[in-house]
Amino acid sequence: MGSVGLPQFNVFGEYYNTIDGKLSSTQETRHGINPATGKPNAEVPVSTEQDVDAAVNAAKKAFKTWSKVPYAERQKALRDFADAIEKNVDDFAKLLTQEQGKPLMFAKAEASSAVTWIRTLSGFEVPEEIIEEDDTKKIIVRHTPLGVAVGIVPWNFPIQLACGKICPSVVTGNPIIIKPSPFTPYCDLKLGELAQQFFPPGVVQVLSGDDRLGPWLTAHPGPDKISFTGSTFTGKKVMESASKTLKRVTLELGGKDPTIVCPDVDIPTVAQKVATLAFLNSGQICLAIKRIYVHEDIYEPFLKAMVEFTKTLKVADGMEEGTFLGPVQNSMQYEKVKGFFSDIEKSGQTVAVGGVNEDKPGYFITPTLIDRPKEDSKLVTEEPFGPIVPVMTWKDEQEVIDRANATRMGLGASVWASNLDTANRIAMSLEAGSVWVNTHLELDPRAPFGGHKESGVGFEWSAAGLKAYCNSQTLYLKKKA
Ligand code: NAD
């Protein structure tokens, strides 16, 4: 571990860990791959256990003072941090496209929404509540910071998801160590570097590494809280590891979102929207539409409209103008998505559109709709996390609600209908953390975000989400002896 002073901030400069207010390099380095070209990106640190110890110690030291800094000052530091990200949005977006693969316009939208998230979440407070007060006593509930938090981030929204953890942690007085995915470390390392201008040493730190780093952090006795976003499979491992030291955990996990299309919808409009919300970010969104249930009366024209629209979506390098689908983010994910195609071929399912891998360097997959696969098929029951979606029919309202809910996942769900009474009634029967009518995926940082069932534990964002970084403390105070 060697450290250097803070250079002039440049998103495309060199990439360092941030430990105790300094930029820090490691003996061993590695690199991510630009998924559109297959070419290597810049070298990044591979943190060691000593780096983890150093970051945890710095965070523990920082906690002593940062937790005492007045709330308004912590809010101001976050607002200044958001302003600085905003000034660099265009560069962050380019770097994001280069490391993650998403089209530049969506990369810019992600970086900008991170700014909105920080501004909104830093505006919330966790006020004391007075339970009872009379001449002799006062009972107060207050929310005190937990200590040191670790934020573990996946590769699909590295900027937005890191900021969605940094802000609530830091504003409530907890230093945080961010661990990006090894596939997408670049923007997060630069967020860490930028943060050093606004926070004291040890308050916001970012460590990049290989597959050993996450387990080291969750097992380390120092941190008090793990906020994890990623797959359900890994989330279970994180919870198991955190249980050894009873760290608090918030888990934001996988999804298998159903959408129900009623017979009275305007077919051309809704078909386009549903396909868009299934294929955004090449389907690599926890909350993307992953199962489409269309009423049998409109099934054929609705599927046709989705197919025609899907054919118009440009699949290319995210740097190219007009690209709607960039590549799948990494080779592991590419192979996983191709596994779904093999299963479809083997079981003779009907491909309505797509179904081929693009003949290009990089991990490109054509957006694909599968016409009425069996309800127990791999595609209907598992999360491909790629641009391949099953379309099924339904007839009876209760039956489609039961099918939509027949999953261990419960992240998002939606219903589309012109008759809003019908739509709202169906929406209220769906088992998911976020449920939409006539849209999907439209998130608001003022609202809690989390999953039901195996899609998560706890929730993030919103004023209430700040409490996930706090202990609840009840004070039974005396006013008279
Ligand atoms: P992943 O679970 O493989 O990895 C997520 C993060 O965990 C990465 O930083 C990874 O390095 C780290 N990690 C891996 N093994 C670990 C371990 N044993 N201990 C600690 N950390 C470990 O997920 P992914 O493939 O990066 O992301 C895709 C998944 O994430 C999908 O299932 C998707 O639905 C889900 N996701 C959920 C949300 C949400 O908010 N609910 C958001 C985005 C993605």
Measured CA to CA, the distance from residue 101 to residue 89 in angstroms comes to: 16
Helices (H), 207-330: 213-219, 232-243, 267-279, 299-311
- pLDDT over threshold 70, residue 397: yes
By C-alpha distance, which of 193, 190, 199, 159 is closest to 75?
A: 199
What does 89-112 look like in DSSP terms, one character per residue?
A: HHHHHHHHHHHH---HHHHHHHHH
Residue nearest to atom 40 of ligand 1 (CA): 252
- Which tens digit of pLDDT belongs to each residue from 74-115? 999 999 999 999 999 999 999 999 999 999 999 999 999 999
* Residue 136 CA from chain centroid, whole number: 48
Q: Would the pLDDT of 4 be above 90?
A: no
Q: Closest ligand 1 atom to the C-alpha of 234?
A: 2
Mutate to test the pocket of ligand 1, among 117, 150, 152 (most ligand atoms within 8 A of CB): 152
Taking 80 as the threshold, does the pLDDT of residue 1 lie above it? no
> Atom of ligand 1 at shortest distance to CA of 180?
9
Q: Could you report the per-residue pLDDT of 120-137, keeping only the tens digit for each?
A: 999 999 999 999 999 999
Interior CA angle at 152 toward 119 and 29, to 5°? 110
Q: Whose CA is nearest to atom 15 of ligand 1?
A: 234
Q: Is the pLDDT of residue 5 over 90?
A: no
Q: Which atom of ligand 1 is nearest the CA belonging to 450? A: 41
pLDDT > 90? residue 282: yes
Q: What is the pLDDT of residue 96?
A: 98
Q: For a ligand 1 pocket test, name from 234, 250, 335 the mutation site with the most ligand atoms within 8 angstroms of its C-beta.
A: 234
Confidence of residue 465 (pLDDT cuts 50, 70, 90): very high
Q: Compute the CA torsion angle 86, 91, 94, 96 (nearest 10 deg).
A: -60
**Ligand 1 pocket mutation pick from 44, 150, 181 by most atoms within 8 angstroms of CB:** 181
Residues contacting ligand 1 via CB (< 6 Å): 152-156, 179, 181-182, 214-215, 218, 229-231, 234, 237-238, 252-255, 286, 383, 385, 411, 451, 456
- How remote is the CA of residue 271 from the centroid of ligand 1, in Å? 30
For residue 392, the tally of other CB atoms under 10 A from its CB is: 20
DSSP 286: T
Q: Whose CA is nearest to atom 16 of ligand 1?
A: 214
Centroid of ligand 1 to alpha carbon of 223 (angstroms) = 19
Question: For the chain, what's the residue count?
Answer: 481
Q: 77-104 b/e with 16+ CB inside 10 Å = b?
A: bbeebbebbbebbebbbbbbbbbbbbbb
Q: Which amino acid is at 81?
A: F
Give whole-number Cα distances, 293 to 392, 452, 453, in Å.
5, 21, 21
Closest atom of ligand 1 to CA, residue 254: 34
pLDDT of residue 191: 98
| Residue 16: closest CA among 54, 55, 50, 43 | 43
What does pLDDT average to over the chain? 97
Q: Which of 156, 159, 161 to mutate to test the pocket of ligand 1 (most atoms within 8 A of CB)?
A: 156
Give me the torsion for CA of 97, 102, 104, 107, rounded to 10°.
-80
Cα(460) to centroid(ligand 1), Å: 16
334-340-343 Cα angle (round to 5): 140
Question: Which residues face 22 on adjacent strands?
Answer: 19
Q: Average pLDDT in the 278-304 region?
A: 98
Q: 321: Cβ–Cβ under 8 A, 6 or more apart, which residues? A: none
**Total-model pTM:** 0.97
**Ligand 1 atom at minimal distance to the Cα of residue 332:** 25
| Closest of 74, 124, 59, 76 to residue 467, by C-alpha | 124
pLDDT band at 358 (very low <50, low <70, confident <90, very high): low
List the beta strands (DSSP E) in 113-224. 129-133, 137-145, 149-152, 176-179, 204-206
Rounded CA-CA distance 152/207 in Å is 10
DSSP designation for 43: E
Instruction: State the Cα torsion 382-387-390-396 to the nearest 10°.
Output: 100
**3-class SS letters over 224-246:** CEEEEECCHHHHHHHHHHHHCCC
Q: Catalytic residue positions?
A: 252
Give the whole-angstrom CA distance, residue 74 versus residue 145: 13
Q: Is the pLDDT of residue 360 over 90?
A: no
Q: Could you tell me if 432 and 452 are in contact, meaning their C-beta atoms sit under 8 angstroms apart?
A: yes
pLDDT score, position 100: 98
Distance of alpha carbon 375 from alpha carbon 390, whole angstroms: 9
Q: Whose CA is nearest to atom 11 of ligand 1?
A: 181
pLDDT digits (tens, 9 = 90+) for 301-329: 999 999 999 999 999 999 999 999 999 99
Cα–ligand 1 centroid distance for 174 (angstroms): 22
β-strand 2-4 against 22-25: which pairing, if any? Answer: antiparallel
| Ligand 1 atom closest to the CA of 230, numbered from 1 | 30
